Structure 1
Amino acid sequence: MTTLRNLLIAAGSAVALASLATAAAAQTPSGPANPAPTPKQADAQMSVTIQSPLTVTKDSDLAFGTLIKPVSGNALPVTLASSNGQVTYNNQTTSGTPAVFTVTSSAGTTFTPTYTASGAITSLPGFAVLTPTGAQGADAPGGLTGNMGQMAIGANTTTRELRYGATFNLGPAVPPGLYSGNLNVTVNYQ
């Protein structure tokens, strides 16, 4: 009987120890103390605007036409309006042609046009390129080089017209002949 009792005590102890081990295992996780973190994410928008290249083309040359110089007296200003090509000299008007350029790119493109005048025409007394200014488009002398400031192509178009006139003083001392030159216009993105 002692053997049976010892067996029963041993079996009971084994069951109790097994129960304690199971309870301890249930209270102590086998993995990390905290669960694995959940990945977080955020999105960034990506975009690019592709626009047409900025180009400039000449539509017309600047031409005063033929003028008769005075025989005597003071030199008088000759003006070719950038807006309409009207040439004014000695209180008379005639038709000429302003230099006209077209700038082409995507709608809304901003740019700065610069110009340089060169050649024999620039040797005429008081010669200056005229550019339109202000809301009325009144011409302002700009010299042989200059710029028209920052400009933009409209929101609903892909072109912008640039117009240039010129002025000089014509008097008896100006030798007769053909005076020609170049008006170079460059446009740069802004």
Structure 2
Amino acid sequence: MAPALTLSASAACAGTVSATASVSVIVLAPVTLAATQGLDFGAVTKPGNAGANTVTLDAASSNVTVSGAGDAARAAGAVSPARFSLIGDPGVTYSTTQSLTFAQPGLARVSVSAPVAGNGALGVIPAGGRQELRFGGAFDLSAATPVQSYTGSLSVTVNYN
């Protein structure tokens, strides 16, 4: 008969182990957003016929167009896209949310455009640390739209990525 071989596990070593990891943080300057110019569609005449029109202010070109089956027209006068100044550390990435409302009822399908960067690439604060954001918008009107001055607000929120 062969001799029996007995193996035994030795007890685990008692004690402690430790490791160290590096730590880092970048502290950025606060980012600010300020309205520098309001959104002004100018003056338009409402349609006199049964058709409806959409009035659109383009943020990039500052042009107002009137489209649709109605016979509305844009009156002479100044128009302007809304302008906001975004200031922060260069390279910070962001997205925006925005809403446009009028205090008076009567305009239909009111909407605000996506922003257009006046300088640099949209969504990234450029090297100078300042970026202009421009906004346009649109609304519908018909023969039933009340004749009056319409005022409202454009709210913009910057969301950092």
TM > 0.5 between the two? yes
2:36 maps to which of 56, 59, 71: 59
Is the Cα contact below 8 Å between 2:59 and 2:81 reproduced in 1?
Answer: yes
Partner of 2:62: 85
1:151 aligns with 2:134: no
Partner of 1:106: 89
Structure 1 pair 121/110, CA: closer, same or farther in 2 (3 Å)?
farther
Identical residues among aligned pairs (%): 33
- 1:177 Cα deviation from its structure 2 partner: 0.3
Partner of 2:108: 125
- 1:50 Cα deviation from its structure 2 partner: 2.5
Structure 1 pair 182/78, CA: closer, same or farther in 2 (3 Å)?
same
Q: How does 1:144-183 map onto structure 2 within 5 Å?
A: 151-154=123-126, 156-183=127-154
Structure 1 pair 132/46, CA: closer, same or farther in 2 (3 Å)?
closer
Normalised to the residue count of structure 1, the TM-score between the two structures is: 0.60
- 1:112 Cα deviation from its structure 2 partner: 2.1
- 1:158 Cα deviation from its structure 2 partner: 0.3
- Give the Cα–Cα distance (whole angstroms) in 2 for the partners of residues 47 and 75 of structure 1: 59
Is the Cα contact below 8 Å between 1:86 and 1:93 reproduced in 2?
Answer: no
Is the Cα contact below 8 Å between 1:122 and 1:181 reproduced in 2?
Answer: no
1:97 aligns with 2:68: no
Superposition misfits of 4+ residues, deviation over 3 angstroms: 42-48, 90-95
Structure 1 or 2: more helix by fraction:
1
Q: Which runs of 5+ in 2 are unaligned?
A: 1-18, 67-71, 117-121
Deviation string 1:127-186 (CA, Å, 9 cap, x unpaired) is: 1112257xxxxxxxxxxxxxxxx81112x2201222111111222110100111111111
- Give the Cα–Cα distance (whole angstroms) in 1 for the partners of residues 149 and 24 of structure 2: 55
Q: Which runs of 5+ in 1 are unaligned?
A: 1-41, 134-149
Is the Cα contact below 8 Å between 2:115 and 2:133 reproduced in 1?
Answer: no
* Partner AA of 2:34 in structure 1: T
CA RMSD of aligned residues (A): 2.7
- Give the Cα–Cα distance (whole angstroms) in 2 for the partners of residues 170 and 181 of structure 1: 16
Normalised to the residue count of structure 2, the TM-score between the two structures is: 0.69
1:72 aligns with 2:34: no
